[in-house]
Amino acid sequence: MPQRALVAGGAGFVGSHLCDELLRRGYEVVAIDTLLTGGRTNVDHLVDEPNFILLHHDAADALSVEGHFDLVLHFASPASPPWYMKYPIETLHAGSIATEALLRVAERDNARFILASTSEVYGDPAVHPQPESYWGNVNPNGPRSVYDEAKRYAEALTAAFRRSHRVNTGIVRIFNTYGPRMALGDGRMIPAFAAAALKNDPIPLHGDGTQTRSLTYVGDLVRGVLALADSDQPGPINIGNPREQTVREIAEVIVKLAGSTSEISYQPRPVDDPERRRPDISLARELLDWEPEVDSETGLAETVEWFRTHSRSAHDSRRP
Ligand code: NAD
């Protein structure tokens, strides 16, 4: 019998890549998505795939999805700051009631459950790089708190279901991930820089650009998430690329790859924007035998090319 996976957020950027890889590995995949921030175009290529179905369904009602699942992946949540600030209550619900519903599906079916948590649980970190043992520096009621605190609650709930209901759970803390199928208008750094560069518009750079980010290619992330799913590790485990680059360097690489004449436009830093982010991936190396393989020049070249050819699709034109 093929294994069956429930992918909440399956029409999103990361969720759609997970669906692709699970199908490639022989799973039957049921994707549920409200299409709040994702889009059908992300899974259009799977419509004729007999082992795939996309249901327009809220993860908070996951218990009403028919069938038995071996693997439940919770990747349903607005993920970019403009989207989660536009939908603050939906974001809190994705971390709270949707997480609980999906955990109850996993409990009912004796399935492995994976929670997509985030480096945002570390907030503006006082420890660098961030190991999983660092508890974070999060403002509990600032504008970003709807996302950060929802994920911190989701982690606590997941750990509680493991401890008291014996659900086989795993938590992955995902660092800044990019790649094809990000929505051009979703406000995250890579699409924002690429959109501007491809139009030869000024590149909107927050602050002086000396703040750093570590960029993970989506294929590397999917490999890490499924390595965690295949293990019985509870996590949390960081999955991210430890190579740290300044935001200005990233902007310059994208301008070059796009063959653009864009100049940099310096803009104010958003509230609670973290200064530095870099994963400590010792645990992923040791427990999952996982390492990032795609360097940022290669991944960014592929991503900019994808934006060049897909920038007119309906999903890409959606904006928070
Ligand atoms: P995305 O916005 O592209 O995908 C999220 C998907 O979830 C969308 O398709 C959206 O419509 C759907 N969704 C939202 N609320 C829902 C609900 N209640 N029920 C069903 N579907 C719902 O974002 P993404 O970048 O693909 O992120 C996927 C997951 O990974 C999220 O949980 C996010 O917090 C996490 N994550 C992503 C990153 C990153 O860099 N991309 C970093 C850290 C964590």
User: For residue 162, how many other CB atoms are within 10 A of its CB?
Assistant: 18
C-beta 59 within 6 A of ligand 1 = yes
**Which tokens go with 85?**
């600030």
Q: ∠112-114-117 over CA atoms, to 5°?
A: 165
Q: State the pLDDT at residue 24.
A: 98
> Is this complex scored with an ipTM above 0.90?
yes
Catalytic (active-site) positions = 147
The Å distance, Cα 88 to ligand 1 centre, comes to: 14
Q: How far apart are CA 121 and CA 210, in angstroms?
A: 22
**Which tokens go with 245?**
């680059």
**Ligand 1 atom 16: the closest Cα is on which residue?**
76
The Å distance, Cα 194 to ligand 1 centre, comes to: 20
Strands 244-246 and 212-214: antiparallel
**Which tokens go with 69?**
């699942």
Q: Which helix (H) or strand (E) holds 303?
A: helix 296-310
Per-residue pLDDT for the chain (320 aa), expressed as one digit of tens each?
A: 779 999 999 999 999 999 999 999 999 999 999 999 999 999 999 999 999 999 999 999 999 999 999 999 999 999 998 899 999 999 999 999 999 999 999 999 999 999 999 999 998 888 989 999 999 999 999 889 999 999 999 999 999 999 999 999 999 999 999 999 998 888 889 999 999 999 999 999 988 899 888 999 999 999 999 999 999 999 999 999 999 999 999 999 999 999 999 999 998 887 767 777 789 999 999 999 999 999 999 999 999 999 999 865 534 555 66
C-beta 54 within 6 A of ligand 1 = no
Residue the block writes with tokens 């590790």: 233
SS3 75: coil
Q: State the pLDDT at residue 69.
A: 98
SS3 127: coil
With the most atoms of ligand 1 within 8 angstroms of its CB, the residue from 6, 7, 13, 44 to mutate is: 13
Sign of CA dihedral 118, 120, 122, 126: positive
The Å distance, Cα 11 to ligand 1 centre, comes to: 9
